[in-house]
């Protein structure tokens, strides 16, 4: 089954404790992206990757890092999480930017 998986689905952590949210897709997609969804702000792109070892900043990259060492994986790293990073995070993949993006189920992160 074609899918995008994210782990964990829910996470409560404290300020400053490094965390990683994993994202994996099994569709051999080149394009992968991370978004955050906040009330009243919609979906905002954090980082995206056009291919392995190619990443670029989206609209709200501050406080986040990503890596793309393999085509299928695109982890989101928060080196020192802060409460303003409490949000619902979605990973997505597609064959290209203008193609249908397949979204993961979301990761709800709470930073205390």
Partner 1 sequence: DQQVKQNSPSLSVQEGRISILNCDYTNSMFDYFLWYKKYPAEGPTFLISISSIKDKNEDGRFTVFLNKSAKHLSLHIVPSQPGDSAVYFCAASAGDKIIFGKGTRLHILP
Question: How many Cα atoms occupy the beta-carbon half-sphere of 4 within 13 Å?
Answer: 25
> Does residue number 48 form part of the binding site for partner 1 (CB under 8 A)?
yes
| CA quadruple 54, 18, 25, 33: dihedral sign | negative
Grouping H, G, I as helix, E, B as strand and the rest as coil, residue 70 is coil
> Does residue number 46 form part of the binding site for partner 1 (CB under 8 A)?
no
Considering only 58, 67, 72, 77, the residue that binds partner 1 (CB under 8 A) is 58
* Residue closer to partner 1, measured from CB, 79 or 99: 99
Segment lying near partner 1 (by CB under 8 A), choices 17-25, 53-61, 62-70, 71-79: 53-61
> Does residue number 47 form part of the binding site for partner 1 (CB under 8 A)?
no
> Does residue number 63 form part of the binding site for partner 1 (CB under 8 A)?
no
Considering only 30, 101, 109, 111, the residue that binds partner 1 (CB under 8 A) is 101
Tokens linked to 66: 């990503």
Tokens linked to 103: 């979204």
Grouping H, G, I as helix, E, B as strand and the rest as coil, residue 85 is helix
């Amino acid at each position: 089954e074609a899918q995008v998986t994210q782990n964990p689905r829910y996470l409560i952590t404290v300020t400053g404790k490094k965390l990683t949210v994993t994202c994996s897709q099994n569709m051999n997609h080149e394009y992968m992206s991370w978004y955050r969804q906040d009330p009243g702000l919609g979906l905002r792109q954090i980082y995206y990757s056009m291919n392995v070892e190619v990443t670029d900043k989206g609209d709200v990259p501050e406080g986040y890092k990503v890596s793309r060492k393999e085509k299928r994986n695109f982890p989101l790293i928060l080196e020192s999480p802060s409460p303003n990073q409490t949000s619902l995070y979605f990973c997505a993949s597609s064959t290209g930017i203008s193609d249908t993006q397949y979204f993961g189920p979301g990761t709800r992160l709470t930073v205390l």
